[in-house]
Amino acid sequence: MAARKSSTEMFVRTVIARAYPRVIGQHRELSWVFFDIFLPLMATCAYVFVYKAIRAPEEYIGFVIMGGAMTAFWLNVLWSMSSQLYWEKETGNLGLYVMAPNSLMAILLGMALGGMIATCMRALVIVVLGSWWFGVTYAIGDFIQLFATFMLTMTALYGLGMLFASLFLMFGREAWHMSNLLQEPVYLASGFYFPIRSFNFWIAASASIIPLTLGLDAMRQLLFASGAKFGFLSVRVEIAVLVVLCVVFIGAAKYSLDYMERLAIREGRITDTRK
C-alpha cells in the first residue's frame, strides 16, 4: 500500500511539475498569446464572411466560431504534445526523462494539462469576441451533457496526442513533416468550419475516429436551438463513442510509451530503427 501511495504521489507531482512551466511560460512571451488568438480568429472571420456572402443558415456562423475555438486545442495537441518527445530528444532532455523514476505518461499529461489551461483561455477569447462581433446567440440544452462532451473530447484528444508523441519519436526527423501533414486534413475531416453531416455517412463515420469530429458535432447540437437538425448522430450516441475513444487512445498511448521506455532502457536507443 505504501509503495502504491508513493507511486501515485510521484505521478501527481510529475504532472504538476510539468504543467507548471507551461502555465508560467505563457506570461513570459505575450506576443505568442496575441498571435495564437489573433490568427485563428482571422481564419474564423474569413469563413463567417463566406457564409454571409452565400446566405447560409445563421447557425453556420455559430458553427464556425465553435470550430475556430476548437482549432486551438488541436494545434496544442499537434505541436505542443505530439511532437514534444521528438523536440526533447533534439535538445538532449529525453534521456533524462527516461532515466527518471517516473512514467513518460505523467510527463506528457503534465504538459497536456499546462497547455490545456492556456488553450482554454485562448478558445474562450475566440468564442467571446466572435459571438460579440457577429451577434451569435446560444441555447444550452443540457449543461451536464455539454460539460461531459467537452471533457471526454479533451481526454480522447490528449490520449491521441500521447499516442502520437511516441509514434512521432519513432519517425525521427519526419515528425515535423507528419505534424504539417496532419494539420489541414484534420480541419477538413473534423468539420471545424461546417457540419460533419455534409459528408456522406461512411466518410463522416470514418472521420469520427478523430475525437474532435464527434465532440464538436455534439457540442454544436447542445449549444444551438436548431443544432440537432445539423447533427450527424444523436448526442447520447456520440458521447458513448467518445468514451470508447478515450479508453482506446489512452490504452494505446500507455502501451506505446511503455514500449519506447523499455526499448530505451534495454537497448540504449529511443527509436525503433535498427542499424
157-214 pLDDT tens trace = 888 888 888 777 776 666 667 777 777 788 888 888 888 888 888 988 888 998 999 9
Whether residue 110 is predicted with pLDDT greater than 90 in this model: the reply is: no
Whether the CA torsion 106, 110, 111, 115 is positive or negative: it is positive
Higher pLDDT residue, 133 or 89? 133
Contact (Cβ atoms closer than 8 angstroms) between residue 85 and residue 166: yes
* Mean pLDDT of the residues in the chain: 81
Residue identified by cell 471526454 is 152
- CA separation for the pair 38, 42 (Å, rounded): 6
- Determine, yes or no, domain membership for 4: no
- The structure's pTM equals 0.83
- Cell, residue 151: 471533457
Domain range holding 63? 12-21+32-267
- Determine, yes or no, domain membership for 77: yes
DSSP H or E stretch at residue 275: none
What three-state secondary structure class fits 208? coil
Contact (Cβ atoms closer than 8 angstroms) between residue 106 and residue 15: yes
What three-state secondary structure class fits 196? helix
Q: Which amino acid is at 4?
A: R
Average pLDDT over residues 48-62: 87
Contact (Cβ atoms closer than 8 angstroms) between residue 222 and residue 149: yes
Among candidates 118, 115, 89, which has minimal Cα distance to 104? 89
Distances (CA, A) of 54 to 61, 202, 263: 12, 27, 55
Q: Which amino acid is at 174?
A: E
- CA separation for the pair 245, 247 (Å, rounded): 5
- Determine, yes or no, domain membership for 148: yes
Whether residue 250 is predicted with pLDDT greater than 80 in this model: the reply is: yes
Burial class (CB in 10 A: 0-12, 13-18, 19+), 148: middle
- Determine, yes or no, domain membership for 2: no
- Residue 121 pLDDT: 79
- Determine, yes or no, domain membership for 273: no
- Determine, yes or no, domain membership for 157: yes
Dihedral angle, C-alpha 79, 81, 83, 85, nearest 10 °: 150
- CA separation for the pair 66, 231 (Å, rounded): 14
- CA separation for the pair 106, 109 (Å, rounded): 5
Q: What percent of the chain has pLDDT over 70?
A: 86
Domain count, the chain: 1
- Determine, yes or no, domain membership for 190: yes
Residue identified by cell 518527445 is 85
- Determine, yes or no, domain membership for 75: yes
Contact (Cβ atoms closer than 8 angstroms) between residue 116 and residue 150: no
- CA separation for the pair 264, 259 (Å, rounded): 9
Average pLDDT over residues 99-107: 77
- CB-based contacts of 218, cutoff 8 Å, min separation 6: 145, 149, 231, 235, 238, 239, 242
